[in-house]
Each structure stands twice: as C-alpha cells, then as structure tokens.
Structure 1
Amino acid sequence: MILAIDPGSEKTGTAVLGTDGSLVCRQIIPTGDFSCHLREMYKKYAFTHIVMGNGTNHRHLQPVAEEWIRKEAPDVTFSLIDEKFTTVEGRKLYWQYTPRHGWRRLVPLSLQYPPEPVDDFVAWIIGQRYIKSLGGLS
C-alpha cells in the first residue's frame, strides 16, 4: 500500500492506495497532527511507500515524514512527485464521487467550486501519478 500526501499549511490531504491505484481510505487532517497521523495510518494500513506532492508545504512536512521513517518504519520508502494542476483535477474528482443536489444540478460544473476541501482527493491523484510514473495504471 501507498500513503499519498497533499501537504498544506493548515490542512493536509492523505490517501491510502493499493498498488493498483484503488482508493482504500482518504482523509483531511490538521497539518499539526501530521506526525501522529503517520503513526496511526501505518498501524492500520502498513503502507510501504510514502509519496508527497512537491507543492505548498512539502518543505515543512518532508523532514517530518523522513524523521518518522528513520525512527519508526525504516522499511518505508519516500518520494516527491510533481503536483502541478492536482487541485483542478481534485475538484473534478470530487464531483465524480459526490452527487450534486438542488440548484447545483442546474449550474454547469465549470462555474462551481466544491463546498468542502478536496485535499484528500488531491492526495489520491498524487498517489495515482506516482503509480503511473512506475509504469502502472494506464
């Protein structure tokens, strides 16, 4: 399994993916809880790789993840991946998995923003990009 991370200043999106890119779990956490979240997710899912987007707050969270790996999970590997345009893709993915109700069905998607953060969907996309970079997912 892979833990994918969309690092943010205040909130961080995470997603656990199978090696085929399938979503196992997605979550948005306060960035301050990142280290504890790593520990909890590892206990629950025993991921073997962490992939992090190289955007907003990776310079702060990457050392936290690498230190956690050194101390608690030395078999886990780590990499960064380009997260250009993942927020736009995350919004599209949000609408695919969240049906629109009421007036939202009448307004074109191009004119709407999701009513909640999409950082967890963005993390899923980051994980899928990583798998594609390895030659998986078509």
Structure 2
Amino acid sequence: MYLGLDPGRDKIGFAFVDENGELLYSGIISKKLFESFLIALSEGNWVELAPYGCEGDTSLLVDKNVELVLLGGGTTSEELERGLRRRKIEYKVVDESFSTLQARKMYYRIHPPKGFRRLWPLSLLVPGRDIDDLAAWALTRRWMEKKIVDGGVTHGS
C-alpha cells in the first residue's frame, strides 16, 4: 500500500491507498503530532491513528506495509521530508497543484449532497469537514496514474 501526505501549515492530511488506488483509511493530524505519526507508521501500530480518522477503517491496514510515502511538495513539505529521512522512510515528492479541487470532488463522491443541495453545482458547496486527507489521496492517485503512463508501477522503488 501507499501513504499519501498532504502537508499544511498546522495540519497534515494522510491517506493509505491500496495498489488499485482505492482509499483504505485516511485522516488529519496536527503537525505537532507528526513524530508520533511516524513512530506509529514505523511500528505498524495502526490503532494509534484511529482518533484522527476521517474515512475508512484501520482494520483495513492490518498485515499491510507501506511501500512508499508520497509527499505533497507544497507548504511546509521540507519539515516533513526531514522527519521521513530521519526515520529512513522512503518517499517521493509529488506536485500538489489542484489537489484541493480534486479532494472536493472526491468528498462529494463519497458523501453525495442530499436534498436541495443536490441541485447546486459542486463548486458552490462547502464540504462538511476539512478535506486534507482526501487531498493526500488525490496526490497518491496522481502519482500512481503517472507511473502507469510512464510504464507501470514499480513495486519496491
């Protein structure tokens, strides 16, 4: 599985994604908790992530390993890169242009508007929660799609 990280000024969206691009589990953590997040990641202690979850279930992560971390290259990514290097976690930096717009679309695919809101254009709707985790999912899918176009996903790289 892959782990997407969408770094922000105060919080980090994360998304665990299977080899088919499907979302297994996602959430949002405070940037202050990143070191604890890395420890849980290194130990495969998925239960530690449960309080920060937004979509999916940590049980979907059991017996899986993170093959590669995909880090959004925008706001404050350098700080996260240092943490990943310190723990010797393999990562690639991904362009995060328009990932928030993609995340909004993903949010409404998962949580379709109800009632009269169904009639409004999605661009006028505001998601019912922060969507940094879905931006991380968008980054991961973008990288996966690029790898397919470039000649296939290489596992273990």
- Please indicate the TM-score interval, normalised by the length of the shorter structure: 0.7 to 0.9
In structure 1, how many angstroms separate the alpha carbons of the residues matched to 2:130 and 2:123?
17
Quote the offset at 1:130 in angstroms.
1.5
How many residues are aligned here?
Answer: 131
Does residue 1:115 correspond to 2:115, yes or no?
no
Alignment of 1:1-138 (within 5 A): 1-42=1-42, 43=44, 44=46, 45-69=64-88, 76-135=89-148, 136=152
Percent of counterpart pairs with the same letter? 31
Deviation string 1:25-72 (CA, Å, 9 cap, x unpaired) is 111111111121122234144212111010111022111111122xxx
**Which structure has more RCO (C-alpha within 8 Å, separation ≥ 6)?**
1
Partner SS state of residue 9, structure 1: coil
Amino acid at match of 2:101: V
Amino acid at match of 1:64: G
In structure 2, how many angstroms separate the alpha carbons of the residues matched to 1:28 and 1:123?
10
Greater Cα shift, 85-94 or 37-46: 37-46
* C-alpha RMSD of the superposition: 1.7
Amino acid at match of 2:136: A
Give structure 2 stretches of 5+ with no counterpart: 47-63
Match of 1:72 in 2: none
Structure 1 stretches of 4+ with a deviation exceeding 2 A read 101-108
In structure 2, how many angstroms separate the alpha carbons of the residues matched to 1:21 and 1:102?
30
In structure 1, how many angstroms separate the alpha carbons of the residues matched to 2:140 and 2:38?
16
Partner SS state of residue 134, structure 1: helix
In structure 1, how many angstroms separate the alpha carbons of the residues matched to 2:16 and 2:35?
16
8 Å Cα contact 2:84-2:90 kept in structure 1: no
Normalising by structure 1, what TM-score? 0.85
Normalising by structure 2, what TM-score? 0.76
Deviation string 1:105-135 (CA, Å, 9 cap, x unpaired) is 3432221121211101110011111112221
